[in-house]
Amino acid sequence: MDSVKNVLQRHWEENPDLKDLKHCVYQEEKLKEVENSYFLKKKLNLAESEEIYLIVHGTLWMGFPGWKAGGFALTNFGLHFDTHKDGFFSPILFLPQGPKGFINYQDLKSIQIADHDRCYGTEYYGHNLVVNGEMYGLIRFSRHILYDEPVIKYCNQLFAKLVGVCLDSPPDLTKYPDTIMD
């Protein structure tokens, strides 16, 4: 999917601030930072000839292992994702696993980063990943206690740019009005 790769490269070049290591979005040369991560090695089931274009994967600062943060990756084959359940008691239950898996580009219609978590307390646990109009669960967009708004904007703006390339529709601001885009 050279067209997807080209859109990703252009968007990456248009957002040089996100190349800073404080942000949890990884593309091009910054992918080296996560090449030995638990998320990449254990959570993504990559095919032998699959090439990673983008990984978004935060960390939890509260002592939870990094695999509890969730994340997603865009490759030459499609979207890989790993989420955690968004519920009031999720932190008390040690952030139970939500859906995880893979969706190839032929079946991928839309992606967006939507609502902030509904978990107990004031800590940040993640934002919901919405794929093809279905809310999957939480992915963390930060390395710290607060979410990383530039990364969420970056992702949603990217998904809007992928319309006509591999997606049919942009993030739905009517259904999820708090979606961070601008």
Name the percent of the chain lying above pLDDT 90.
Answer: 55
What is the pLDDT at residue 99?
Answer: 84
Residue 4 CB partners (closer than 8 Å, separation 6+)? 53, 74, 76, 105, 162, 165, 166
Give the whole-angstrom CA distance, residue 2 versus residue 56.
20
- Average pLDDT over every residue of 70-75: 93
* pLDDT above 70 for 67: no
The answer to whether residue 13 sits within a structural domain is yes
The answer to whether residue 182 sits within a structural domain is no
What is the number of domains present in the chain?
1
* pLDDT above 70 for 164: yes
The answer to whether residue 170 sits within a structural domain is no
What is the pLDDT at residue 127?
Answer: 87
- Average pLDDT over every residue of 118-139: 86
Residue 46 CB partners (closer than 8 Å, separation 6+)? 52, 75, 80
Residue whose token pair is 């292992």: 65
* pLDDT above 70 for 62: no
Structural domain range at position 15: 2-161
The answer to whether residue 148 sits within a structural domain is yes
The answer to whether residue 180 sits within a structural domain is no
The answer to whether residue 107 sits within a structural domain is yes
The answer to whether residue 33 sits within a structural domain is yes
**Inter-CA distances, 137 with 21, 72, 117, 128, Å:** 25, 11, 9, 5
Higher pLDDT, 174 or 66: 174
What is the pLDDT at residue 68?
Answer: 64
What is the pLDDT at residue 136?
Answer: 95
Higher pLDDT, 122 or 57: 57
Return the minimum-mean-pLDDT range out of 46-60, 92-106, 125-139, 156-170. Answer: 92-106
The mean predicted confidence, pLDDT, of the chain is: 87
Higher pLDDT, 55 or 59: 55
What is the pLDDT at residue 9?
Answer: 97
The answer to whether residue 85 sits within a structural domain is yes
| Farthest CA pair distance, the chain | 43
- Average pLDDT over every residue of 25-33: 93
Q: Are 147 and 141 in contact (CB under 8 A)?
A: yes
* pLDDT above 80 for 97: no
